[in-house]
Amino acid sequence: MKPCRSTLRAGAGWTALSLGASLLVMAPPVAGQPEQSYRFLEALEMASPVNKGSLSRFNRVGNVEPGTYSVDVFVNGSFSHRRSLRFDLFEGQGVAACFKAQDAAMLNLRPDLLAQLGQRECARIEELAPGANAVFDLANLRLNLTLPQAQLKHVARGYVDPEHYDAGESIGFVNYSISQYYVRTAQVSHSATYGFTDSGVNLGLWRLRQQGSLGYDNHAGLAWNPVRTYARRALPGWTSELTVGQSFTSGKLLSGLAYQGLELSSDDRMLPDSQRGYAPVIRGSARSNAQVIVSQKGREIYRTTVAPGSFVIDDLYPTSYNGDLDVTVIEADGTRSSFSVPFSALPESMRRGRSRYSLTAGRTRDTDTPALFMDALYQRGLSNALTGNVGMRLARAYRSVLIGTTLAGPAGSVGLALNHSYADTGRGARAGWMLGLSYSHAFEATGTNFSIASYRYSTAGYRELADVLSERHAGRGNQWALANSSSYQQHSRFDVSLSQQLGSVGSLYLSGLTQTFYHNRSRITQLQFGYSTMWSNGMSINLAFQRQQVSAASSVQSGLDPRLPQAGRPGSSVMLSLSIPLGQAGADRPVLSSSVVKAAGQDLYQSQLSAMVPGERHISYSLGASHAPGGGQDSLNGNVGMRLPKVNLNLNLARGHDYWQAAANARGALALHGGGITFGPYLGDTFALVEAKGAEGARLFNGQGAVIDSNGFALLPSLSPYQRNVVELADAGMSSKSEILESQRTVIPYAGATLKLNFRTRSGHALLIRLRRDDGQPLPMGADVLDPQGELVGMVGQGSQAYLRIAPLRGNLLVRWGDGQQERCAVRYDLHGQDLKAALLRLDAACIAAPRREAFLPADAGPPAASGATQ
């Protein structure tokens, strides 16, 4: 069925909706119709015989004016996207959304259904997909689509078509942190200035990035420290990312290296939400059309309906790495059955059938001798519980091969890795093995959680590439790098991290590390233990113990430089702290914290009062004092911090027995674009520049306080790549002379994209104008008011009054309530002499018959201009 062309311009329909709903009078529900439907009885408008259908067009439930609307699209009850859709009048069907090819592509319909559009400009959803249905919720600008599963492509939950990824625009940006430090003692003064930058610009899909720091010290002078410079781009067809330049290997399976070269690796962020991370496949059976509910630790994480017979659930969202999954099957007759699926996974666990790879080639950085190398890694989920890992590292006279696996079971998740290396160290060949074993599990009954426990054992000949390069360099007289390496000639290493929940009593944590080396080179032992709890009144207490010991053998035994320190003295410390909120409950009430630290025979007592300025939560301050028995180490300190829309500022001052110190820091970001420079508090790798001319003062939801500035721009600091992001503007804080015509946008950015989003606004004076026809009769309710460009700017309501917003102080308007020449009239208005600062202007005006079908009166002719209302 061909649509009838609308005479309204695109973007005008929303005005009719918002104004008509607020101004029109509705009769009670008509018998035989749904309770929520209403009928406009034009016969009641006895004083206005010219209605002729201007109100009855709203009698059909869900009726809207033809035009273009920015709507939230929900598919089968779930939010899909926000999009501007055209609504046309279809003969015999009323007004409905007309889907163009690019609109229909967002619905995940089968390709053969999309091909039906052919050369047609657009079509109703019922024509595209048999059995589909569309219901438009006018009040919420929400389009509810019901699409049969048979008409949809089979994709995982959260799937986003790569065709919808947005690369954004070429916007330059700089994240900066500038610090100034000064200290003065009785003997010397020292000052330093330090600045760190993270900057970049995008060219199409390529993201150019540079990180570095510039420092000035009054003793050492000026120094530039480049961290890395690289270019990166996404390869959606391969679900991968390419990096060229200076970067770092991941360090997940093979040791991490700084390099200059290129890397091609999988990017799991491009996967649907339900395919990222690790979650097991659930298999079961149902006797009827049944509900399947999956819970973890008592919390429901998944629910679906399955047909009779066997079912498979393979699109769970990643959850906690520990905690069995409880599956409940509710049959059609209400009977229930339950079973559990063991779930305990290490971070490297992968779903069945999923794989991940990484290829790196280049030259090492930050090593004694740069060397060419190549890395290759591959991981694959072999079954519901088993993940396989293989890797290889090659360099001149060096090779390392890794094979490993991760096994998840009821008793926990175990990872096993075996790595063999061969190297020519310059003093002979060395070959050896390293065995790695890791374990993770949560004991739900006791609330005990092993975050990770790992053990590594190496033979004397095993070498990491960085150590080999240092060893070759050490042969020429430099032993320092080897002495500082934590992996050179490592014999064994054991790490453990444990947490224990004690219910309302509090929680405990324990972490430890012990590491030994061959030839009695050294032994490192670290231990941390803590307890914390909080009471209902906000008071909290923390107890922490820490011990570290590094023992080293003599230089003769270790073969290292005799100038190196030979042994480390064990050190232990205990800290007890107490926090007490002061005053009435509230987010900005002051907090008094006190602590005592005992370490190496030296006691230290500290107290700190911190708070936010009442009514100004972006301003915080603290005052503190510390005391050490014996004198000489007492001090006072103060801090003031301000979180502003465009920058974060911090100032620290301290005064001690024979010194005083001051430090200041400013952190922020700026973006360079065609409209100038826009400032913000910080920018993530993926962000948006929002343009809304005339909307100064409007705030961005989830924008970290971002506000549209006087130039009409604001920075949204962070977006989630390859996911739907809803960017929304709030008009609170805006001038009463402006309004936002489009308050939401949905975007799906590439990783690292810099998007520019333009929100339509309208600026002008809010006007309530009372209209009279030239014969003295009032205008019919529901009549449209259009500007000289044909844009719908208002609608006539009760008492022949129309509310609209217009920018020109003088001009013409057209009022239309039908298609005939006698069903329209023209208005001339003039706002000169009015109080233009008022939030709402009131006028009286005459509306004379338009001489032509589409006529607008010229500004210098026509009826007398509207005058200020006397009421």
Place of tokens 């010229």: 858
Average pLDDT over residues 348-359: 85
pLDDT exceeding 90 applies to what percent of the chain?
A: 18
**pLDDT tier for residue 523 given thresholds of 50, 70 and 90:** confident
Average pLDDT over residues 640-667: 87
**pLDDT tier for residue 848 given thresholds of 50, 70 and 90:** confident
Question: From start to end of 345-480, where are the E strands?
Answer: 355-365, 372-381, 386-395, 398-409, 412-424, 429-443, 448-458
Q: What pLDDT, on the 0 to 100 scale, is given for residue 853?
A: 46
Query: What domains can be seen in the chain, in order of their start residue?
Result: 3-154 (3.10.20.410), 161-230+608-759 (2.60.40.2610), 231-268+351-601 (2.40.160), 281-341 (2.60.40.3110), 764-868 (2.60.40.2070)
Q: What is the pLDDT of residues 612-634, one digit of tens each?
A: 887 766 888 989 888 888 766 78
Give CA–CA dist 439/454, Å, rounded: 6
Q: Indicate the range of 277-291, 459-473, 568-582 predicted with least confidence.
A: 277-291
**Number of other residues whose CB lies within 10 A of the CB of residue 229:** 16
Considering only CA atoms, which of 27, 144, 55, 14 is closest in space to residue 818? 55
Choose between 504 and 172: higher pLDDT. Answer: 172
Q: Token pair for residue 574?
A: 């205990």
Of how many residues is the chain composed? 871
Q: What pLDDT, on the 0 to 100 scale, is given for residue 863?
A: 44
Residue 40 has pLDDT above 60, yes or no: no
For every residue of 274-307, DSSP letters joined together read GGSS----EEEEESSSEEEEEEETTEEEEEEEE-
Q: Token pair for residue 617?
A: 């939560």
Q: What pLDDT, on the 0 to 100 scale, is given for residue 871?
A: 34
Q: What is the pLDDT of residues 140-158, one digit of tens each?
A: 778 999 888 778 776 666 6
Average pLDDT over residues 829-846: 86
**pLDDT tier for residue 515 given thresholds of 50, 70 and 90:** confident
pLDDT exceeding 70 applies to what percent of the chain?
A: 78
Runs of H (alpha helix) within 35-117: 101-104, 111-114
Q: Indicate the range of 23-27, 199-203, 384-388, 797-801 predicted with least confidence.
A: 23-27
685: exposed, middle or buried (Cβ count in 10 Å: 0-12, 13-18, 19+): middle
Q: Which positions ≥6 away from 288 have C-beta within 8 Å? A: 308, 331, 332, 333
Q: Which helix (H) or strand (E) holds 795?
A: strand 792-796
Residue 471 has pLDDT above 70, yes or no: yes
Give CA–CA dist 755/226, Å, rounded: 27
Whether the Cβ atoms of residue 401 and residue 253 lie closer than 8 Å to each other: no
Q: Indicate the range of 345-359, 387-401, 654-668 predicted with least confidence.
A: 345-359
Which residues sit opposite 299 in a β-bridge? 296
Q: What is the pLDDT of residues 362-403, one digit of tens each?
A: 999 878 788 999 999 999 988 878 899 999 999 999 999 999
Residue 24 has pLDDT above 80, yes or no: no
Choose between 419 and 287: higher pLDDT. Answer: 419
For the entire predicted model, the pTM comes to 0.72
Q: What pLDDT, on the 0 to 100 scale, is given for residue 171?
A: 94
Q: What are phi and psi of 164, to 5 degrees?
A: -95, 0
Q: What pLDDT, on the 0 to 100 scale, is given for residue 757?
A: 92
Q: Indicate the range of 266-270, 448-452, 453-457, 634-638 predicted with least confidence.
A: 448-452
Which residues sit opposite 529 in a β-bridge? 510, 545
Average pLDDT over residues 685-698: 89
User: At residue 836, what is the residue type?
Assistant: L
Q: What pLDDT, on the 0 to 100 scale, is given for residue 323?
A: 53
Whether the Cβ atoms of residue 163 and residue 663 lie closer than 8 Å to each other: no
Give the single-character DSSP code of 30. Answer: P
Residue 182 has pLDDT above 90, yes or no: no
Average pLDDT over residues 240-254: 89
Choose between 683 and 427: higher pLDDT. Answer: 683
Output the average pLDDT for the chain.
Answer: 78
Give CA–CA dist 88/102, Å, rounded: 17
Residue 62 has pLDDT above 60, yes or no: no
- Please state, in angstroms and as integers, the Cα–Cα distance from residue 159 to each residue in 15, 46, 106, 153, 279, following that order: 34, 57, 11, 11, 17
Q: Which positions ≥6 away from 572 have C-beta within 8 Å? A: 545, 546, 547, 548, 599, 600
Considering only CA atoms, which of 797, 773, 772, 796 is closest in space to residue 784? 796
**Number of other residues whose CB lies within 10 A of the CB of residue 622:** 17
Residue 527 has pLDDT above 70, yes or no: yes
Average pLDDT over residues 26-42: 44
Choose between 181 and 389: higher pLDDT. Answer: 389
Q: What pLDDT, on the 0 to 100 scale, is given for residue 742?
A: 76
Choose between 151 and 332: higher pLDDT. Answer: 151
Q: Which positions ≥6 away from 209 have C-beta within 8 Å? A: 198, 199, 200, 228, 229, 230, 231, 232, 752
Residue 343 has pLDDT above 60, yes or no: no
Average pLDDT over residues 642-650: 87
